[in-house]
Amino acid sequence: MTATRSLALAVVLLLGSLPGSPALAQPTSPRDPIAAEALFERGKLLMDQGHTTEACGAFAESQRLDPAGGTLLRLALCHEADGKLASAWLEFGEVVRISKEGTGDPAKLQERVRLAREHLAAVEPRVPKLAIVVPVAARADGLRVSANGLPRDEGTWAVALPVDPGDVVVVATAPGRREYRITVHVAEGQQQNVELLPLALAAAPRPARPPPPPVMHASLLRPVGIGVGLLGVASIGVGTYFGVRAIGKWNDSNTACPGTTCPDATGVSLANDAKSSARAADVTLGAGLVALAAGVVLYLAGTPTAVEVRGSTGAVTVRF
C-alpha cells in the first residue's frame, strides 16, 4: 500500500462526513437518477457562470442521489477550483480507484483516470496538513478532540492529516474540565502542529442563593395616622380635665346650696361653671375618641404589604 493511499484511508473518517464528499459513503437515501441528472446540469451551468461554491453543492447533491464516477470527478474539479484542496485530493484519488474497478466504456474510464491523476499530482503538494498533538499531561478521562467539528480520535493524534486551507478550529472537551479552543490558520502546502494544553478543572457550581425578602415601602398614611392619633390623645386629655373640673364644680355647688335654693350667688355661679366644664368635656372627649380611632385606621392602612404571585413565567411581588 502506498503512502498516499495510507494517508487517504486515515483521512476518510474526517472528510467522509463533509457535505462535499458524499461519494466516500453509501447514500442513506433512495436513489433518484432524474433529480441527480438535473442537479448535475445545474452544477455545470453554475460553474460556467462563476458560482463555484453553489456548483459544488449541486454536484455533491447529485452524487448523493446517484453516485457516479463522472459526477465525482466534476465534484473534485469544483472543489479544486473552490480552494477545498483536501476534499478535492481525496475525491481525485477515489475517482482513480472506482474508475479502475468500474465497468463501461474503457476509453472514457481511461480518460477519467488520466485526468484525475493529473489533477491529483497537481493538488497533492498544495494540500495543507494539520497534526494535533496531545501530550500525556493534557490527556483526561473522556477527552474529545475535533477539528472544524470533525472528530480527531486518539488514533489520529500527532498524525498530519490533510485539511482545507483557511482557519481550522480545534476544540478539546472532557467531563469536569473547561473547554479548550484554538483557531489555527493553515495555508496551501503548509503543515501545522497544534499541541493541546491540559484542560483546566471546571469551577464547581455555586449553590443558588435564596431570593431576597421583598422590600417594604412605608406609606405616608402612617405618619399622618400617628399625628391624628396623638391629637386624639391630647383631646381626650383635655376632655378628662374638663370632666374632672365639672365634677369638682358641681360638688362645690352642692356644698354651697344644700337645699333646693341657693342663699347666695356663689352656688349659682359654681353650678354654671360645672355645666360649662361638662359641655367642654363632652366635646373634647368625643373629638378625641374620633381622632384616636381615625389615627389607628390611617396607621393600619399605611402598613406596607407584599404578596408574591407565582405563575408559569416566575414569581412577581405585588406591594400594597
Tell me, rounded to whole angstroms, the distance of Cα 263 from its chain centroid. 101
Instruction: Say whether both 117 and 140 belong to one domain.
Output: no
Q: Would you state the cell numbers that stand for residue 2, as one nine-digit string? A: 502506498
Instruction: Say whether both 32 and 112 belong to one domain.
Output: yes
How many domains are contained in the chain?
A: 3
Instruction: Say whether both 106 and 40 belong to one domain.
Output: yes
Contact present, 109 and 99 (Cβ < 8 Å): yes
Instruction: Say whether both 11 and 118 belong to one domain.
Output: yes
Q: What sign does the dihedral 148-153-157-163 (CA atoms) show?
A: negative
Contact present, 90 and 11 (Cβ < 8 Å): yes
Instruction: Say whether both 18 and 64 belong to one domain.
Output: yes
CATH number at residue 181: 2.60.40
- Per-10-residue mean pLDDT of the chain, 320 residues long, equals 43 42 50 94 96 96 94 96 95 91 83 94 95 93 94 93 94 94 94 92 80 64 75 78 74 68 67 74 78 74 57 50
For residue 66, the model assigns a pLDDT of: 94
Instruction: Say whether both 114 and 136 belong to one domain.
Output: no
Q: What distance, in Å, lies between the first and last C-alpha atoms of the chain? A: 84
For residue 18, the model assigns a pLDDT of: 43
- Rounded distance, CA 268 to CA 291, Å? 35
> Is 0.85 topped by the overall pTM?
no
Does residue 241 lie in a domain region?
A: yes
Where does a domain end: 90, 125, 160?
A: 125
Instruction: Say whether both 106 and 136 belong to one domain.
Output: no
Does residue 200 lie in a domain region?
A: no
For residue 10, the model assigns a pLDDT of: 45
Does residue 209 lie in a domain region?
A: no
For residue 3, the model assigns a pLDDT of: 42
Full residue range of the structural domain in which residue 228 is found = 221-319
Of 47, 39, 130, 42, residue with least CA distance to 81 = 47
For residue 22, the model assigns a pLDDT of: 44
Instruction: Say whether both 277 and 167 belong to one domain.
Output: no
Does residue 102 lie in a domain region?
A: yes
Instruction: Say whether both 50 and 155 belong to one domain.
Output: no
Does residue 14 lie in a domain region?
A: yes
Instruction: Say whether both 31 and 88 belong to one domain.
Output: yes
Q: Would you state the cell numbers that stand for residue 41, as one nine-digit string? A: 446540469
Instruction: Say whether both 275 and 311 belong to one domain.
Output: yes
For residue 105, the model assigns a pLDDT of: 84
Instruction: Say whether both 17 and 55 belong to one domain.
Output: yes
